[in-house]
Structure 1
Amino acid sequence: MTEPVDPDVDLSDARQRRELRRSHYRVLAAVAAGGMIGTAARYGAALLWPTAAGAFPWTTLGVNAVGCLVIGVFLVVVSETWTAPAWVRPFFATGVLGGFTTFSTYCVDIQRLVSAGHPGPALAYLAGTVAAALVAVTAGTWITRRVLAAGMARRAARRAR
């Protein structure tokens, strides 16, 4: 079985191989820079609203829900209204929001709740985070589309006058 081939890329051409390498490093740098910002923001949230040992991790739940809401808004904007430069999606969606949201800490929080003898809250957190994330990304998408449509309708009404 062979790997899929991009018909626009001829890997026997040294210039195209160099171009591919450069573009990967730029994307990697954009993700890394965004990740530093996102993780710093998450760390700041944990400092502002610390969670005591064995307590329900409201901060992590909130960070993940807010991150999902923002990604819903962001992806509608860059997919439907704005032709963003190539580095914007990897920088913001993967880097900033990937660093800000923390599903690894979510898993550790569940384990900590169970280990502390709180299986009920752990199960509620397990399901509640997934539900909150799905509701948040859906709400972000839906609200952004409505706001953009209303703005376009207002502009069209002004032009019609």
Structure 2
Amino acid sequence: MFKDILLVGIGSFAGGSLRMVVSKYLQLCVAGSFPLGTMVVNVLGCFLIGIVSSLSGSESSISPAVRLLLATGFCGGFTTFSTFMNENVMLMKDGDDFSTSVLYLFASLFLGFVAVLAGRQLVLAFR
């Protein structure tokens, strides 16, 4: 168990550090407030976790330890959005119908947005 935690921690450190560098650099290249850096990191993270999850359990399989390091650690540290999107794909892949995946997608986006607004309002109420 400690080895797994260490693998995820190392991957998270690398992914989170790279997220900051890529996001900050790309944001400097864009005029205005559009969060291009975050969008690129999220899409790139989705691409990477798609590769890693496809290599898991295939003929060119990667070990569970490498999967923890790359998918849970690196991609999770790089962006949790990639994990969120991969879970949507897995819902469909595991035999659940498309509507379950769509429900998870929109419920997560809506509830996450509402939760951010609620958190902000809570802080503003006590200032």
TM-score range, shorter chain: 0.5 to 0.7
Separation in 1 of the partners of 2:6 and 2:46?
A: 23
Cα contact 1:60–1:102 (8 A) shared by 2: no
Separation in 2 of the partners of 1:89 and 1:68?
A: 15
Larger radius of gyration: 1
SS of residue in 2 equivalent to 1:31:
helix
Report how many aligned residue pairs link the two structures: 84
Aligned to 1:48: 25
Q: Which runs of 5+ in 2 are unaligned?
A: 90-127
Cα contact 2:42–2:79 (8 A) shared by 1: yes
Q: Which runs of 5+ in 1 are unaligned?
A: 1-23, 104-129, 138-161
Q: Please list every run of at least 4 consecutive aligned residues from structure 1 whose deviation after the TM superposition is greater than 3 angstroms.
A: none
Residue 55 (structure 2) pairs with residue 77 (structure 1): yes
Aligned to 2:65: 87
In the superposition, the TM-score normalised over structure 2's length comes to 0.56
SS of residue in 1 equivalent to 2:64:
coil
Identical columns (%): 31
In the superposition, the TM-score normalised over structure 1's length comes to 0.45
Separation in 1 of the partners of 2:6 and 2:60?
A: 22
Separation in 1 of the partners of 2:35 and 2:54?
A: 29
